[in-house]
């Protein structure tokens, strides 16, 4: 089958200058790549297109199975079905209702798994997908281990960022879910821009920032969606990370709302990325002219009854600042 018409729309996203939103612009420039403007509204269009291309001919496979925070699922529901596959998705009950409705509207079958399920247990969303994928004619894509995931960012997102900025990139700030973005872009930068400092933006409660400094932590609940986690994903490579900034939900929310007020309708992980990038910049010497690049990962359309709803945030988001948390900043 020829490639679906949506494929060429993926990538080549614009870069927006957020320096004007910073409290102190003397410390450098903050640029963000608008991945929320991909055709299905998130950065996950890139790895999904790549995983589908790398699959080759369907053969006996009629159903693609994936465990998702929602964004991979939406890409797969639209692009996988355009290639003729049935799409079955498993998701944690933590994800907001818009995501589930969008996935079903896009034609996917969705199974919701309890957020409390331990990683590796039969009820956990990843384990559920693994088991579903064993049925005849089914294939579990496994974005958490699939090398096409990080390769999409190594071959496409990384080179685009370097070309977009067209000069020095001092720091790259990036949250990690599967870690495909961080690993792929950081590996590209290590080759093409070896002086760039790679900064992990991690939600407070995730085990990834502790893993960078060799600490195994027990995950705590947090609300930012699609990033961080209660386990270290196989694609996460701590040796690529120079520094971590741990961001509370409250600071992510403050930055997400600032972005929306500035006309950028983005989701919770964009708030985490920009909060971390702003924090990183605030600790650089004044007049350093540092160029910091981060990503706006997904569209706000999937958060209108959660992160973008005042009643919901008043009830759920605990007001504490990134710098108030014990060990809030972890530096290598």
Catalytically annotated residues? 44
Using CB under 6 A, which of 65, 298, 300, 307 touches ligand PMP?
298
By the rule CB under 6 A, 152 interacts with ligand PMP? no
CB-wise, 51 or 297, nearer to ligand PMP? 297
- Residue 15 and residue 32 in contact, taking contact as beta carbons nearer than 8 Å: yes
- Which of 327, 252, 268 lies closest to 300, judged by CA? 268
Q: How far is the CB of 149 from ligand PMP (least distance, A)?
A: 7
Q: How many residues bind ligand PMP (CB under 6 A)?
A: 19
Q: How far is the CB of 46 from ligand PMP (least distance, A)?
A: 9
Using CB under 6 A, which of 180, 271, 300, 328 touches ligand PMP?
180
Strands of 138-140's sheet, edge to edge? Answer: 109-113, 86-92, 63-67, 138-140
CB-wise, 50 or 254, nearer to ligand PMP? 50
Compute the distance between CA of residue 200 and CA of residue 213 in angstroms, rounded to an integer.
Answer: 12
By the rule CB under 6 A, 157 interacts with ligand PMP? no
Q: How far is the CB of 257 from ligand PMP (least distance, A)?
A: 16
- Residue 214 and residue 207 in contact, taking contact as beta carbons nearer than 8 Å: no
Using CB under 6 A, which of 175, 185, 250, 291 touches ligand PMP?
175
- Residue 297 and residue 270 in contact, taking contact as beta carbons nearer than 8 Å: yes
Using CB under 6 A, which of 75, 171, 179, 313 touches ligand PMP?
179
By the rule CB under 6 A, 146 interacts with ligand PMP? no
Restricted to residues 71-130, the positions that interact with ligand PMP (CB under 6 A) are: 71
By the rule CB under 6 A, 267 interacts with ligand PMP? yes
Half-sphere exposure of 120 (CA within 13 A, CB side): 4
Q: Where are the alpha helices (DSSP H) in the chain?
A: 45-55, 71-82, 97-105, 125-132, 147-152, 158-165, 180-192, 208-212, 249-261, 268-282, 310-316
CB-wise, 177 or 328, nearer to ligand PMP? 177
With b for 16 or more beta-carbon neighbours within 10 A and e for fewer, the 214-227 pattern comes to eeeeebeebbbbbb
Q: How far is the CB of 153 from ligand PMP (least distance, A)?
A: 7
Q: How far is the CB of 47 from ligand PMP (least distance, A)?
A: 7
Q: Find where tokens 């930068």 sit.
A: 189
Interface residues with ligand PMP (CB under 6 A) are: 43-44, 69, 71, 175-182, 225-227, 267, 269, 297-298
């Amino acid at each position: 089958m020829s490639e679906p018409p949506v494929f060429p729309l993926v990538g080549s996203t614009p870069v927006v200058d957020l320096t004007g939103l910073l409290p102190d612009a003397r410390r450098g420039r903050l640029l963000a790549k608008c991945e929320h403007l991909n055709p299905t509204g998130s950065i996950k269009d890139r790895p999904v297109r790549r995983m589908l291309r790398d699959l080759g001919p369907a053969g006996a496979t009629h159903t693609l199975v994936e465990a998702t925070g929602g964004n991979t699922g939406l890409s797969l529901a639209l692009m996988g079905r355009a290639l003729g596959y049935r799409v079955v998705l498993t998701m944690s009950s933590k994800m907001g209702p818009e995501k589930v409705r969008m996935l079903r509207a896009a034609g996917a079958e969705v199974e919701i798994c309890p957020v409390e399920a331990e990683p590796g247990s039969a009820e956990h969303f990843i384990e559920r997908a693994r088991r579903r994928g064993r049925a005849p004619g089914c294939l579990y894509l496994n974005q958490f281990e699939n090398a096409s995931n990080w390769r999409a960012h190594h071959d496409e997102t990384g080179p685009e960022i370097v070309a977009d900025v067209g000069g020095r990139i001092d720091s790259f700030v990036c949250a990690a879910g599967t870690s495909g973005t961080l690993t792929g872009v950081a590996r590209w930068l290590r080759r093409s821009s070896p002086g760039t400092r790679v900064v992990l933006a991690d939600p407070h409660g995730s085990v990834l920032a502790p893993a960078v400094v060799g600490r195994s932590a027990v995950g705590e609940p947090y609300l930012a969606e699609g990033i961080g986690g209660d386990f270290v994903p196989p694609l996460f490579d701590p040796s690529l990370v120079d520094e971590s900034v741990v961001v509370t939900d409250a600071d992510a929310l403050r930055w997400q709302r600032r972005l929306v007020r500035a006309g950028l309708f983005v989701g919770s992980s964009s708030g985490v990325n920009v909060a971390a990038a702003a924090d990183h910049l605030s600790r650089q010497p004044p007049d350093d002219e540092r160029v910091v690049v981060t990503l706006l990962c997904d569209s706000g359309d999937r958060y209108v009854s959660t992160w973008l709803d005042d009643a919901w945030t008043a009830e759920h988001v605990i007001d504490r600042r990134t710098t108030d948390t014990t060990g809030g900043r972890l530096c290598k």
